[in-house]
Amino acid sequence: MGNEAIARGALEAGVSMATAYPGTPSTEIIETLAEVGNKYGVYVEWSTNEKVALEMAIGASMMGLRALTAMKHVGVNVASDPLMSLGYTGVVGGLVIVTADDPNAHSSQNEQDNRIYGIHSYIPVFEPYSPQEAKDMTKDLFDLSEKYAIAVFLRSTTRLSHSRGEVKLGEVQNLGRKPVFHRDPERWALLPPYNLAKHREVLGKLERLEADLAGFKYNWVEEGSSDFAVIASGVSYAYVKEAVEKLGVKPTIFKLSSTFPVPRKFALEALKYGRF
């Protein structure tokens, strides 16, 4: 299951804390981690709500630990207060926020595209298309989060979270980190004039990240023989691959996993085709 693959990716990254509030299609992530948390030394918690879950994960990250928090799309609404500050403060230990969106509202009160939250909060958004990529990307995003000292969204959807497929596993890590908090009011206290400086800082982080994402291994181009191109992100890439096979057409496919920020080089290459 895609959610189990996300949980496995967190274990392979050496996650120390995992928190969540249950809600389909995200629930199985923490259920999976709860089954093995004691074995691998991971603190796993069903929190009072999504806001508390995010704040717990932020606290772990502030002390240098790797943390994951998971929630369904409407749960991000509940967590939005600390989320908006998180973009400014950044992180110490890698922090991955899983937003499990529910297109077609299979088990939700609405449809909601949480990629917009990434733009709004200055938190990068990444979308895997398969259980294997969900596992691999989750692991890699912890490294990316620490490299840029920024939290990241992993956006799943119902079809990915509840899909099944073969997944090649790696080794589970225990990084052996000890929690240490370094007092730094200029970083953690978002009050004038510190907040404006942090705003400029996060914009700089996103600019550097955008440039680096031109070579992101989960973004790629599949050259076709037709005179049009298709841009696909997340699980929609799998739909595109199935559709072009059935239709017998061969468009160029731009497979985009970093939906915020979109690497300019990648986007400009796609625009050359003119037809989408």
- Parallel, antiparallel, or unpaired: how do β-strands 125-126 and 252-256 relate? unpaired
Check residue 139 and report its DSSP letter. H
**Are 184 and 229 within one domain?**
no
Q: Residue 79 maps to which CATH number?
A: 3.40.50.970
Decide if 45 is inside a domain: yes
Same domain, 37 and 50: yes
Last residue of a domain, one of 174, 196, 213: 213
- The answer to whether residues 129 and 145 belong to one domain is yes
Cβ atoms of 234 and 127 within 8 Å: the answer is: yes
Q: Report pLDDT for 274.
A: 59
Q: 77 with 195, same domain?
A: yes
C-alpha 26/C-alpha 17 separation (Å) is: 17
Q: Is the pLDDT of residue 276 over 60?
A: no
Structural domains counted in the chain? 2
Cβ neighbours of residue 52 closer than 8 Å, sequence gap 6 or more: 19, 21
Q: What is the pTM of this model?
A: 0.94
The verdict on 177 and 233 lying in the same domain is: no
Give the span between the Cα atoms of 210 and 198, in whole angstroms.
Answer: 18
CA 138 to chain centre: 7
Residues 108 and 74 sit within 8 Å (Cβ to Cβ): yes
Residue 36 falls inside a structural domain:
yes
Same domain for 245 and 198, yes or no, is: no
Domain boundary among 176, 195, 213: 213
* CA angle 151–156–159, rounded 5-degree value: 175
* Structural contact between residues 1 and 129, judged by C-beta atoms closer than 8 angstroms: no
172-210 tens-digit pLDDT = 999 999 999 999 998 999 999 899 999 999 999 999 999
Helix (H, G, I), strand (E, B) or coil at 243: helix
Whether residue 276 lies inside any domain: the answer is no
- What is the number of other CB atoms lying within 10 angstroms of the CB of residue 147? 13
Residues 162 and 232 in one domain: no
pLDDT of 275 reads: 63
pLDDT in tens, 1-42: 999 999 999 999 999 999 999 999 999 999 999 999 999 999
Residues 163 and 86 in one domain: yes
Are residues 222 and 198 part of one domain? no
Q: Is residue 250 part of a domain?
A: yes
pLDDT of residue 97: 99
Q: How confident is the model at residue 241 (pLDDT cuts 50, 70, 90)?
A: very high
Same domain, 75 and 196: yes
Contact (CB, 8 A) for 65 and 93: yes
**Same structural domain, 195 and 114:** yes
Please report whether residue 129 resides in a domain.
yes
Looking at the structure, tell me whether residues 238 and 121 fall in a common domain.
no
Task: Look up residue 97 and give its DSSP letter.
Answer: E
Q: Please indicate, yes or no, if residue 158 is contained in any of the structural domains.
A: yes
pLDDT for 218 beyond 80: yes
In-domain check, residue 132: yes
pLDDT tens digits along 51-107? 999 999 999 999 999 999 999 999 999 999 999 999 999 999 999 999 999 888 888
- DSSP code per residue over 23-59: -TTSHHHHHHHHHHHHHHT-EEEE-SSHHHHHHHHHH
Question: Cα angle vertex 133, ends 47, 46, to 5°?
Answer: 5
Residue where one domain finishes, among candidates 163, 178, 213: 213
pLDDT digits (tens, 9 = 90+) for 127-181: 999 999 999 999 999 999 999 999 999 999 999 999 999 999 999 999 999 999 9
User: Domain range spanning residue 252?
Assistant: 216-271
